[in-house]
Chains A and B, each alone.
Chain A
Amino acid sequence: MLAKKTPAREEAPDGGAGTRRDALGISRLSLAVGTGESEIPLLADVTVRVGRGETVGLVGESGSGKSLTARSALGMLPRGARATGGVTVSGVDVLAAGYRELRDLRRTRVSMIFQDPRASINPVRRIGDYLTEGLRARGVPARGAAEQALDLLGQVGIRDPKGAMGRFPHEFSGGMLQRVVIAGALSTEPELLLADEPTTALDVTTQAEVIGLLKEMQRAHGTGMLFVTHDLDLAAAICDRVYVMYAGRIVEESAGASLFGAPAHPYTRALLEASPSVHGGRAEIKAIRGRPRALAEAPSGCAFRDRCPLAGDECAETVPAHRPHGTSLVACLRPEQVTP
């Protein structure tokens, strides 16, 4: 159990087939836009792995690069961006893939859900069209696609699926429409589901329902999920593993459950201390000075050092390498001072 829970760097790949087993493998991905003097780095050295059927959280504040990282799995890079490193989705090298290959990948193996369901669904087409489109593109005959869509709507808890097929997006509430989008995302039985803040725009009680649904559907279909969120509590509650991002880099990788008890990076701990909670005693919150930074404006060495209470001179020298501490992998020189 110990060995399993420890975030595995390379989980003893059987020969060269190691990456094939993963739904998503991002290794040492760096992204930048612009050239020469005006080059703006966006991501540096990002390594993320999502196993089959695994739920992996990607947590960070604005500008941390969490959405960019998730989008890179679909080959959706900013215009003119240059990427180094590797992005592999169920065996396909995404960075090297051509237009046709990417389209096939998006059609069959990877689905993505965004924060605002209304932005990702065509407002003038019926729900039935939306749901059967992907299936038809895969070659499912019209009648079969309609039956499957009906079945999916039932699975995601839409009352009166038959009626829903003929309705338009504006006739649904945000929570209900997000269910429709989830049904659409899972209709192609993808190996990887990228969920970018899928519940942020929803009410808390609706969020709980949609999360329950996502987890259940994921279990039933064996889908790997990369869950992007700013909500540390949410990530820790539902994810097997969590990556914490700051200024375009991964600063900590931890088992979801142990994130609260034993944060290893000062930034993770600072985030926990800055979040008010409804549990336990009425604790003080500690604000983090300064503001979250993007990679381009981060100081040299450790990007968090100008906001870090533990920072010393050596933190400015180089970007700290990831090293194991407790159940985490952490990019900090002195994690023992964060959680002994």
Chain B
Amino acid sequence: MSTGDAMSTGDAMSTGDAVKAPVLSATSLVKRFGHVTAVDDVSFELMPGASLGIVGESGSGKTTTARILAGLEQPTSGTVTLDGRAVEGHSRRARLRQARRLQMIFQDPYGSFDPRQTIAQSIAEPMRLHAPGSRKEHRARVDELLDQVGLSSRAGQSLPRDLSGGQRQRAAIARALGVAPRVLVLDEAVAALDVSIQAQILTLLDDLRRDTGISYVFVSHDLAVVRYITDTAIVMRHGRIVERGETEQILRSPRHPYTRLLLDSIPSPGWDLDRVARDRRALDLL
């Protein structure tokens, strides 16, 4: 049911824009590092409960875009609107307000856990910052979260180094969910995982979205994963959006030659490497 709702949010704007406002929108984002333009005029909207893919290769600007959304980079120009209010400044108050609504998950969660804190302590920390309550209440909430992401309470008492990559990613998701954010930004969140573990995390993310109505911005180079986890997608190249639309539509009939190249580059039975070379030449002609 709710997946059907999520699917329709993509074109909700055309029917009744007063009814549903986007939970997150980026307007004409530009980010320059020196004379390099990493993100060049990027705009998109994310509806409540929807999942948006940002697809691209290294240097496409997808990660910089994600970092701007999470407030880890300041855009050179352009605005991010979160939950109806523009994200402005980076005072402590502004950052807290943003973090309560939007959380980010990275490729390797190991780097974002304090190696000397147990997983349960790490999960409780943002809660202490954002949600008032007693220690006991927080502990109950941590147990609830661990259960929600499929971790045992024993895993909660472990240090990050004692967990496998998949378990650490579950813990990172639990910590992010602790503040009940409206949006999760996932940057290559399943790229480093084994196939069988990747499938576990993907199905977990799918279930969470169905159960909680949370929205995702899913940054990935992997079109197959993006197809599974998102409703709409944008394809980025050299900092610009070259194609946007419903994910299925983009994959079935890509309009931009770069999207076509990305698709043909995916190994499959009867993989045609000559076609990949042809696609690349077509792109060079642009």
Interface residues of chain A, those whose CB is within 8 Å of chain B, are 61-62, 203-209, 211-212, 215, 230-234, 236-238, 257, 260, 270-271, 274-279, 282, 285-289, 291-292
11 new A-B contacts at CB < 8 Å, known A212-B276, A282-B228, A288-B200: A62-B194, A203-B57, A204-B262, A208-B264, A208-B265, A209-B280, A212-B277, A230-B194, A237-B267, A237-B268, A238-B271
Whether B221 is near chain A, meaning CB under 8 Å from some CB there, is yes
Residues of A within 8 A of B203 (CB): 285, 287
> In the complex, what distance in Å separates the CA atom of A211 from the CA atom of B265?
10
Whether B72 is near chain A, meaning CB under 8 Å from some CB there, is no
> In the complex, what distance in Å separates the CA atom of A230 from the CA atom of B195?
8
Q: Closest residue to B167 on the A side, CB-wise?
A: A291
Say yes or no: A238 contacts B267, CB within 8 Å. yes
Residues of B within 8 A of A277 (CB): 224, 227
| Mask of B245-286 contacts with A, CB within 8 angstroms, 1/0 | 000100100000000011111111111010011001000000
Secondary structure of the B contact surface, majority rule: helix
Question: Which residue of the partner chain, among A257, A270, A275, contacts B224 with CB atoms under 8 Å?
Answer: A275
> In the complex, what distance in Å separates the CA atom of A292 from the CA atom of B164?
10
> In the complex, what distance in Å separates the CA atom of A238 from the CA atom of B268?
9
Q: Closest residue to A279 on the B side, CB-wise?
A: B268
Residues of A within 8 A of B227 (CB): 276-278, 282
Q: Closest residue to B200 on the A side, CB-wise?
A: A287
Pairs across A and B, CB under 8 Å, 12 listed:
A62-B194, A205-B265, A212-B277, A260-B269, A271-B195, A274-B195, A276-B199, A276-B225, A276-B228, A277-B224, A278-B251, A282-B227
Say yes or no: A285 contacts B268, CB within 8 Å. no
Known: A62-B194, A205-B265, A230-B194. A274 touches B271 (CB 8 A): no
> In the complex, what distance in Å separates the CA atom of A231 from the CA atom of B229?
20
Residues of A within 8 A of B263 (CB): 278
> In the complex, what distance in Å separates the CA atom of A292 from the CA atom of B265?
28
Whether B176 is near chain A, meaning CB under 8 Å from some CB there, is no
> In the complex, what distance in Å separates the CA atom of A101 from the CA atom of B268?
40
Q: Give the residue among A206, A260, A292 with the most B Cβ atoms within 10 A.
A: A292
Q: Distance in Å from the Cβ of A260 to the closest Cβ of chain B?
A: 6
Say yes or no: B221 contacts A203, CB within 8 Å. yes
Q: Distance in Å from the Cβ of B279 to the closest Cβ of chain A?
A: 8
Say yes or no: A231 contacts B202, CB within 8 Å. no
> In the complex, what distance in Å separates the CA atom of A209 from the CA atom of B281?
12
Q: Distance in Å from the Cβ of A134 to the closest Cβ of chain B?
A: 27
> In the complex, what distance in Å separates the CA atom of A278 from the CA atom of B164?
28
Whether B196 is near chain A, meaning CB under 8 Å from some CB there, is yes
Say yes or no: A205 contacts B276, CB within 8 Å. yes
Residues of B within 8 A of A230 (CB): 194-195
